Amino acid sequence: MSKEEKAKYLEEAINELNNAAQRGDAAAKKLLTAKKFADGGDFWGSSSKEWLYDLATAYYKGEGLRRDFEKAVYWYNDVYRGPTDINGIDKDAAYALGMCYLNGEGVEKDYEMAVRLMKAAAETDEYGGGDIKIIGNANAIKWLQENEQ
């Protein structure tokens, strides 16, 4: 997705959050406050990876924004594929995307992609041992895929 499309999606999200905040939605107010803080007071500045993850989660859960799995997947993907820190990919975004692929929420159900994303998330463990929950979920998904009728 181009920078222009990303800016358009971000503007739509901000507008939707502003409308919800004006109606008294506490989750929208909290997300807007966090956005301003993340950008150092520059509301239209470059958003932090953490804030974009929170935006994706707000779309996923329908908290502060209307529930929209496709937009959640878009923002989770943006965080997952975006600039990385010294620890590599964003583990939380990779896991959330994996769950979307597992459940067919915002994307076509794809067990193989779910396993790949969850294993990628597990491999980001800074101690090198992998996240047991994520590895367990990835193995369970793989078993389901192999045994699905």
pLDDT tens figures, 113-149:
988 888 887 776 543 445 556 666 666 666 666 766 4
pLDDT tens figures, 90-120:
888 988 999 999 899 999 999 889 888 888 8
Q: What is the DSSP string of 72-85?
A: HHHHHHHHHHS--B
pLDDT tens figures, 25-83:
999 999 988 887 666 555 444 567 888 889 999 999 999 999 999 999 999 998 888 76
Altogether, the residues listed in the chain come to a count of 149
pLDDT tens figures, 62-72:
999 999 999 99
